């Protein structure tokens, strides 16, 4: 298990299945390896998943929007770090 997935499990393993799954997917889809970005990923993903009704199905478009949101948040975070 790579460091980022171990850190994800350690820090966010008790989150609901949808949030954890989408965090893992964003890490995979965006090839994220920096464990310091986990909080940024969580904030972005949880915005979409925390109030998602259980009776509604989470679809492909929801996943795409969520991963794109993570991408934008990560890019912003990296630019902020570089400017500091």
Determine what percent of the chain is predicted with pLDDT higher than 70.
Answer: 99
CA angle 32, 68, 43 (to 5 degrees): 70
Q: What is the mean pLDDT of residues 65-82?
A: 96
CA–CA separation, 48 vs 39, rounded Å?
15
Judge whether residue 58 has pLDDT over 80.
Answer: yes
Q: What is the pLDDT of residue 41?
A: 98
Q: What is the pLDDT of residue 68?
A: 98
User: Nearest Cα to 45, choosing from 82, 30, 81?
Assistant: 30
What's the mean per-residue pLDDT of the chain?
94
CA–CA separation, 32 vs 38, rounded Å?
9
Q: What is the pLDDT of residue 2?
A: 87
How does DSSP classify residue 80?
H
pTM score of the predicted model: 0.92
């Amino acid at each position: 298990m790579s460091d980022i997935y171990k850190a994800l499990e350690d820090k966010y393993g008790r989150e609901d299945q949808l949030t954890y799954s989408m965090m893992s997917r964003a890490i995979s889809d965006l090839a994220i390896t920096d464990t310091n970005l986990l909080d940024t990923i969580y904030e972005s993903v949880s915005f979409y998943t925390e109030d998602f009704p259980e009776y509604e199905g989470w679809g492909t478009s929801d996943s795409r929007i969520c991963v794109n949101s993570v991408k934008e948040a990560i890019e912003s975070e990296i630019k902020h770090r570089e400017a500091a």
